[in-house]
Chains A and B, each alone.
Chain A
Amino acid sequence: MKKIINKIVHQILRVTSLLILPIIIYSSCSKFIQVDDPIGQIVTSTAFQDEQTATSAIMGIYSNLLVRSASIGSGGVTLYTGLTADELYYTGTDQGYIGFYNNTIHPNSGIISNDIWRFAYQYIYQTNACIAGLESSLLDLSVKNQLLGEVYTIRAFCYWYLVNLFGDVPLILDIEYQANSKAGRISSDVIYQQIVLDLETAYDLLDKEYHGYDRDRVNKWTAAAFLARVHLYLGNWQVAREYATEVIMQPQYRLEEDLNSVFRIESQEVIWRLVERTPNLRFTVESGKFIPSTLPNARPVLAIDHDLLDDFDPTDERLTNWTTSRTIFGVNYTYPFKFKYRTSALGQTEALTPFRLAELYLIRAEAQTNLGEYPEALEYLNMVRVRAGLNKLFSDDKPEILDFIIRERRIEFFAEWGHRWFDLKRTGKINEVLSKSKSNWTHTAALWPIPVSEIQRNPNLTQNPGYE
């Protein structure tokens, strides 16, 4: 027995001596399994420590705004509010589009949930992540301020479209996903306060000069132009007038005399443009949608509503320069032609233009009308009209001037960034106007539905009336 025990002890000793190696290897494991940071990825803590990378993070937002097909940054607002308002009609059979035109958007609409809502909040996340990164970074203050200013402007830009399309929306200002995933809708007044706050912050931080390619990125005057727009919507006429005036006074902006130059990338009318400079992608989302293919029988998918066409003065040069038409099997379709190239082998020639000087003229005109400054108001209104080859208008009747301005906005900004839809809403005329032109119009259609998929994932979200 003793022998056996001896033997066991002996063998155990032998085995354990061999165990040492695996144990040594294993104990070095915790070091072994540390991997390097991935090549080609940057950890947040380092992303904002140098100017180059921090700028790339902000450029990522611009790029994302552009690249997502028909999101709020890439023509989505133009296309879909064009249908829900009285600008465009749809010629095809896709029920998704038909719902917009009929103002019976299904709350399950993929366009709403994916193209609009999801990407808008993705942009907002990017802005919030950049703000967090920038605020804790030790970058040179001048760089940091410019970048922060750009980010705040873009965040305001996202919220501005969300609040105008959906009404109350969740207000997400940081990247804490646990709290954010439960956030409910916040009153649109609060959203507007945040927009103003963001824009005022941006206005203070931004440089007057453009960084990067000319007008591709937001500068101080972009924030000012945006503030003018927001205060116009809020009815703060004086503030709107001041911001508009400030932008108008900048010598680098002037109305392009040639209407066909307004949306070109060398346009001097542009305050901020979003432009894809990657080769092989030389067209805007809008032109891709509006301009039909070269196929003999291809009809425009989205054509201009007759109601809008009738509003054009027959001598309006915008009618000839910004629209064109095509007759397919005896039916004439007129479609937007602000962008000229569906595709182009000529290099990048056109750009999406969220802010251009003509808008500031009309903002100023509208603010001044409301402030009783009719002559100056008409002066700016008429500058836009004269550019389009129209006669000047004169009046000293405030409602009439306001009517002039709204009509002018309808023509000048047709199929452009949702101006018509938002004008109808902010002037309170939406029900009056659309109940005439749209057979299915209901009052609740002024707000788009909150995506059902979002409500399913966040019980704190509520649906807009009319879509339950």
Chain B
Amino acid sequence: MEPSAAGLVQLLKLNLTKMGKTYGISIHSLQIMRISSILIFLQLFAVYLFAAHDTNAQLISIAADRASVREVFSQIEKQAKFTFSYQESTIKETPAITLYIKNKQLTEVLFELSRKTDLNFKQIGKVIAVTKIKKDGPQKENGLHLKPIKAVQDYEMISTQDTIRGKVINENGEPLIGASVAVKGTKTVAITGNDGGFVLPNTEKNATLIITYVGYESREVSANNTANVILNKKTSYLDEVQVIPYGTTTRRLNTGSVSSITSEEIENQPVSNPLATLAGRVPGIIVSENSGMPGSGFSIQIRGRNSLAQGSEPLYLIDGIPFSPGNINMNVITNSPSPFSISGQSPFYAINPTDIESIEILKDADALAIYGSRGANGVVMITTKKATVGKTSISANISSGVSHVVRMMDLMNTEQYLEMRREAFNNDGYDPDIFSAPDLLLWDTNRYTDYQKELIGGTARRTNAQLSVSGGTANTQVLFSGGYLKETNVFPGDLPNQRGNASINARHASSDQRFQLNLSTAYSYSENRSPATDLTYLTYLAPNTPSFYDDARNLQWELNGATFENPYTFLHRKFVAQTENFNSSLVASYQLFESLTIRTSMGYNTVIGNQIGVNPASAENPIYSPVNNTVFADNRFSGWTIEPQAEYTDNLWLGKLSILVGATLQSNTHDASSITASGFSNESLMESLGAASELTFPYSTNTQYRYGAAFGRINYNIADKYLINITGRRDGSSRFGPGKQFATFGAVGAAWIFSEEQWVKQAIPVLSYGKLRGSYGSTGNDQIGDYRYLDTWAPYERNYSNMATIYPLWLYNPSYGWEVNKKLEGALELSFFEERTLLSTAFFRNRSGNQLVNYSLPTQTGFMSINRNMPALIQNSGWELMLNTVNIRNSLLNWSSSFNITFAKNKLLEFPDLETSPYAYQYIIGQPLNLIYGFRSMGVDPETGVYQFLDVDGSETFNAADLTVNGNLDPKYYGGFRNTISIKGFEADVFFEFRKQIGLGHLGATYLQRQIPGTMYNQPSYMLDRWQQEGDLTEIEKFTTFDWNTGNTTSSDVLYEDASYLRLKNICIAYNFPKTITQKIKADNFRIYLQGQNLLTITNYSGIDPETRNPFWLPTLGTYTIGAQIIF
């Protein structure tokens, strides 16, 4: 029902004051948002003025004490610009009336008037026609046909009418606010109010009402059965709400490529990082865990590598607000003593997966262009849980579990190891001496320790507790949630990681639901005490390495004059990383007219990391004369965003038009600092900066990033059949120099839901849904780092001659600009058998040009590279396929499956003057970027026992002319397979991930790290299958201690092997107790579950983990947890 303009103004006045109050609170509580609240007021003020000019906007007051109808008419005519038209005879018999009305809409006034008289009213333009109700009708004559004042055409007076009242609720008894109740066959529509109630005056008693509500199945009911109309939530996958940038749609009507996973899938996984939950579940995206250490980072790539050198990181948004650290390494302290230090802590560890409602991955230009220069590598949108209407609901969820390394390497025992060593010396023609072979000559050759078991063979424990309380009235809803997580390591010693988090979501709406305010605030604190160094690389110590402790339980560093690495040094050091995360977003919206809503979203996000690395002298080898020192480091990211928007939706011509315009202001800062403190009088004081007498190596950095843009989107939907979506954004980034800051990006997406065509329906009756969609557009990439266009000098951490020092940071080049990524997509979505089978196929082709690179330079220029654009063109293309099926669906058993697979190909299309460029030996036109370009192995020469390589040019020497393409490191295909089965109260969810790829093998890693078979490092026992004598045919070279003598091998394909795998990524088995039991404990639901992660891996890969593909990093752990959830 369209509102009258008069009512609008009243509401507007009311809400301005109301909003002012509500707003006042938020201004005080969140000072950051002061600016944006001013903006909102400005916007509202403009609208207010605009609305006041609307001629229809008028409220009417009547004061009539036994007055004639004519007098009442005259009062109305004075206030509203309407004229009453009637014949004298009509009102002649009408008795005098008493009527007091204050500030009511005209329709209501007339309705009252009609009730008190025998008159009926009909509006025709500016004239209100007065007629007399016929006395001889079958019904009591008190009707006024209420019509929206704007639309008056074909009103016919009905006498078989009554006022129909009713209420619309959902399955849980919660009122559905804003549902539309239409009288079938007429244009009369009512909208439900705050309690779900509606009123339809003068409606035929036997009319049929059509009730519709977004996300619910529409229902037709008889007008005499409206007490509690229950609408069922749509179970249709296609009609589930789909979050898109600056709004929502449904999968059915989406024109872009958006994949998502829901809270159900997230909660079934016993993981602590939200990024982990994506692995294998979303087509087109590769998620890999860098290491199995708690809090470790994840690498993510959406639809391939778009950039030669600069970041291929997607944009991460939490409730629409950019997550300020992105996916970087949170650790400032990276100068750990070993080159194998952990890949860093993930900032996403600060986000509790349980708080997430859904994660959306945006992939094509249609979905991404609205993010302009930030969208080239895709967008990961995290939407947190929101409060819901209903009685107070309390949910508690506790789980506990264990993690361990699932797949250990089969390493040599001491006997095999020593045999390898002796044979290596023999092959080399050297006698082992005490310097090169303490393991053979100085140490106990009978000693054996399984260092895998000792160092990474532990069991990590995991405890997770979550509590949430939610509830609310139709106008105000609140959700509180809190959680606690504790995880330990598989390393020896007790090194707990803990995370606590709390969040509040509150939503308030004015009683007519036009003004809405939604505030989400989340805070988390985590403390990570994992050692700064991943101990996995030390599992390859010689198996007869002496004990790490001497008899007096002191750390031991040498035996018989030979020193060795002692892994326990890292356990006696201390590394504490504390991370605080605060996220807050506020969305305020106001529906000015039915067709126009203005909205402002504001967000603030800060992530603060404090790290301390305590290195007591007692934990270090005394030959290095260590001193007590502690590194203190801070890392702080913060950012705010303001996005005013206006959205206009109306019917236009044949379809529904929706226009969104908006602007973005975003500011991010990053500060980091560190200092090394020493001169502590006592090791127990080392965590106190104040106790240090010397401070050295001060380091600090501060960067600021600003981004501003205006964007728009036009969406036109004809009969839910033809859809077109045009998006555009003009934006500017502070990462570029003068004249290069602004650029325009845009995209067109279109969809045709051909299953809605009659002829298709007739031709293919089993087809319940079919959509053909496509998009084309451009996005940009500004991941170049801040200030790179400036000609700057930075302070060096050391002094010279009592003076501070500065040095030039980089070569000066102010004239680089955006990397432009043009994306093309075509997709076909089909659904058969009433949506029991859903197949979606997408083809994509992304071309990224104007590459921003760190162009390599000869170092005679003073630097190794310079930032510049290069006209190289990179293409990522591929197919994504997703199949969802409901295999069995009946009252007893539900079984559904979901399968996704992605075939992707990366290709360098253009690279002018590649041959003479510094990249000549790195890339080849027509080949993928992650190319394995090197010598081709011809196996081990049976005569010499060493690898021989293909001599391409027959020159008998190996140089650039002999390099060949030996495959590439991009997965050929990857995906996942999920089955969910529920039988009565039991549920089972089983998920497999698979990937077909080549990766750095274990042997390859040993070559690159100079730990080749024969040197003083343990090896997998399959290395025993090596060349020993002339004529041996084998894959493994003869053992050697000459670790430097690997020249051609390290540039060859020997390093790589098949690293494909099929992994049982996740199992969740749950049992929901029946109502009969839950009711006894007064609970709504009680559920116990068993979850497992990374339980089984099927692979031919020789190394410890085909996911990390690095033998020196802790593999992804297998986890089992058991838990219970109860909801009251």
Q: Is A428 an interface residue (CB 8 A)?
A: no
Residues of chain A within 8 A of B624, CB atoms compared: 293, 343
Known: A21-B43, A128-B862. A41 touches B790 (CB 8 A): yes
Q: B42, B645, B710, B864: which has the most chain A beta carbons within 10 Å?
A: B710
Contact with B along A341-358 (1 / 0, CB 8 A): 011110000000000000
Selected interface stretch from A87-95, A188-196, A249-257 = A87-95
Residues of chain A within 8 A of B71, CB atoms compared: none
Selected interface stretch from A26-34, A236-244, A318-326, A414-422 = A26-34
Chain B positions 663-703 with a Cβ under 8 Å from a chain A Cβ: 663, 665, 676, 678-679, 694, 696-697, 700-703
Q: Is the CB of B798 within 8 A of A67?
A: yes
Residues of chain A within 8 A of B787, CB atoms compared: 35, 37-38, 41
Q: Is the CB of A118 within 8 A of B805?
A: no
- What is the total number of residues of chain B having a CB less than 8 Å from a CB of chain A? 104
Q: How far is the CA of A337 from the CA of B802 in the complex (A)?
A: 28
Q: Is B434 an interface residue (CB 8 A)?
A: yes
Q: Is A121 an interface residue (CB 8 A)?
A: yes
Nearest B residue to A54, CB-CB: B806
For B861, give its contact among A37, A53, A121 (CB under 8 Å). Answer: A121
How far, in Å, is A201 (CB) from chain B's closest CB?
Answer: 21
Residues of chain B within 8 A of A372, CB atoms compared: none
Q: Is the CB of B661 within 8 A of A458?
A: no
For B793, give its contact among A20, A26, A42 (CB under 8 Å). Answer: A42
For A59, give its contact among B436, B652, B662, B801 (CB under 8 Å). Answer: B801
Residues of chain A within 8 A of B705, CB atoms compared: 35
Residues of chain A within 8 A of B678, CB atoms compared: 279-280
Residues of chain A within 8 A of B50, CB atoms compared: 14, 17
Residues of chain A within 8 A of B563, CB atoms compared: 293, 295, 298
Residues of chain B within 8 A of A96, CB atoms compared: 1044
Total residue contacts A-B, CB cutoff 8 A = 290
Q: Is B629 an interface residue (CB 8 A)?
A: yes
- What is the total number of residues of chain A having a CB less than 8 Å from a CB of chain B? 96
Contact with B along A272-286 (1 / 0, CB 8 A): 000011111000000
Q: Is the CB of A60 within 8 A of B806?
A: yes
Q: Is the CB of B646 within 8 A of A18?
A: yes
Q: How far is the CA of A115 from the CA of B811 in the complex (A)?
A: 20
Q: Is the CB of A126 within 8 A of B862?
A: yes
Q: Is the CB of B796 within 8 A of A63?
A: yes
Q: Is A309 an interface residue (CB 8 A)?
A: no
Q: Is B598 an interface residue (CB 8 A)?
A: yes
For A175, give its contact among B46, B625, B804, B812 (CB under 8 Å). Answer: B812
Q: Is the CB of A295 within 8 A of B860?
A: no
Q: Is B1058 an interface residue (CB 8 A)?
A: no
Q: How far is the CA of A310 from the CA of B613 in the complex (A)?
A: 50
Q: How far is the CA of A8 from the CA of B650 in the complex (A)?
A: 10
Residues of chain B within 8 A of A53, CB atoms compared: 806
How far, in Å, is A399 (CB) from chain B's closest CB?
Answer: 41
Q: Is the CB of B799 within 8 A of A21?
A: no
Selected interface stretch from A134-142, A176-184, A373-381, A436-444 = A176-184
Q: Is the CB of B652 within 8 A of A19?
A: no
Q: How far is the CA of A42 from the CA of B795 in the complex (A)?
A: 9
Nearest B residue to A214, CB-CB: B801
Nearest A residue to B791, CB-CB: A44
How far, in Å, is A276 (CB) from chain B's closest CB?
Answer: 7
Known: A95-B1045, A96-B1044, A295-B561. A30 touches B741 (CB 8 A): yes
For B863, give its contact among A28, A44, A113, A122 (CB under 8 Å). Answer: A122
Nearest B residue to A24, CB-CB: B663
Q: Is A170 an interface residue (CB 8 A)?
A: yes
Q: How far is the CA of A83 from the CA of B974 in the complex (A)?
A: 53
For A216, give its contact among B435, B697, B800, B858 (CB under 8 Å). Answer: B800
Q: How far is the CA of A373 from the CA of B782 in the complex (A)?
A: 70
Q: Is B562 an interface residue (CB 8 A)?
A: yes
For B1044, give its contact among A32, A45, A95, A456 (CB under 8 Å). Answer: A95
Residues of chain B within 8 A of A299, CB atoms compared: 435
Known: A38-B792, A39-B702, A280-B629. A177 touches B803 (CB 8 A): no
Q: How far is the CA of A277 from the CA of B703 in the complex (A)?
A: 30
Residues of chain A within 8 A of B709, CB atoms compared: 26, 29
Q: Is B918 an interface residue (CB 8 A)?
A: yes
Q: How far is the CA of A40 from the CA of B796 in the complex (A)?
A: 10
Q: Is the CB of B434 within 8 A of A329?
A: yes
Q: A66, A297, A344: which has the most chain B beta carbons within 10 Å?
A: A297
Nearest B residue to A26, CB-CB: B710
Q: How far is the CA of A11 from the CA of B436 in the complex (A)?
A: 85
Residues of chain A within 8 A of B435, CB atoms compared: 91-92, 297, 299
For A32, give its contact among B708, B786, B801 (CB under 8 Å). Answer: B708
Q: How far is the CA of A128 from the CA of B650 in the complex (A)?
A: 65
Q: Is A124 an interface residue (CB 8 A)?
A: yes
Q: Is the CB of B861 within 8 A of A44?
A: no
Residues of chain B within 8 A of A66, CB atoms compared: 800
Q: How far is the CA of A297 from the CA of B1041 in the complex (A)?
A: 21
Q: How far is the CA of A227 from the CA of B648 in the complex (A)?
A: 80
Q: How far is the CA of A22 from the CA of B1046 in the complex (A)?
A: 62
Q: How far is the CA of A170 from the CA of B860 in the complex (A)?
A: 7
Q: Is A64 an interface residue (CB 8 A)?
A: yes
Q: Is A117 an interface residue (CB 8 A)?
A: yes
Residues of chain B within 8 A of A459, CB atoms compared: 916
Q: Is B596 an interface residue (CB 8 A)?
A: yes
Q: Is the CB of B800 within 8 A of A63?
A: yes
Residues of chain B within 8 A of A297, CB atoms compared: 434-435, 560-562
Chain B positions 512-531 with a Cβ under 8 Å from a chain A Cβ: none
For A121, give its contact among B742, B862, B921, B1044 (CB under 8 Å). Answer: B862
Known: A33-B706, A63-B805, A67-B798. A21 touches B648 (CB 8 A): no
Chain B positions 646-665 with a Cβ under 8 Å from a chain A Cβ: 646, 648, 650, 652-653, 659, 661-663, 665
Q: Is B794 an interface residue (CB 8 A)?
A: yes
Chain A positions 59-87 with a Cβ under 8 Å from a chain B Cβ: 59-64, 66-67
Nearest B residue to A212, CB-CB: B801
Q: Is A172 an interface residue (CB 8 A)?
A: yes
Q: How far is the CA of A158 from the CA of B1079 in the complex (A)?
A: 85
For B858, give its contact among A4, A39, A457 (CB under 8 Å). Answer: A457
Q: Is the CB of B663 within 8 A of A22?
A: yes
Q: Is the CB of A280 within 8 A of B627?
A: yes
Known: A44-B793, A457-B856, A457-B857. A212 touches B802 (CB 8 A): yes
Residues of chain A within 8 A of B593, CB atoms compared: 14
Q: 7 closest A-B pairs (Cβ-Cβ)?
A: A125-B862, A297-B561, A212-B801, A29-B708, A95-B1044, A26-B710, A22-B663
User: Mind listing 19 A-B residue pairs with CB under 8 Å?
Assistant: A11-B595, A14-B648, A25-B39, A25-B665, A26-B709, A35-B705, A37-B787, A42-B792, A43-B790, A59-B801, A122-B862, A172-B860, A177-B813, A212-B800, A278-B697, A280-B694, A293-B563, A454-B858, A454-B859
Residues of A within 8 A of B (CB): 4, 8, 11, 14-15, 17-23, 25-26, 28-30, 32-45, 47, 52-53, 55-57, 59-64, 66-67, 91-96, 113, 117-118, 121-122, 124-126, 128-129, 170, 172, 175, 177, 180-181, 183, 211-213, 216-217, 276-280, 293-299, 329, 342-345, 454, 456-459, 461
Beyond A8-B652, A60-B793, 10 extra complex contacts between A and B, CB < 8 Å: A18-B598, A22-B645, A23-B710, A30-B732, A30-B742, A34-B734, A40-B700, A121-B859, A457-B858, A461-B858
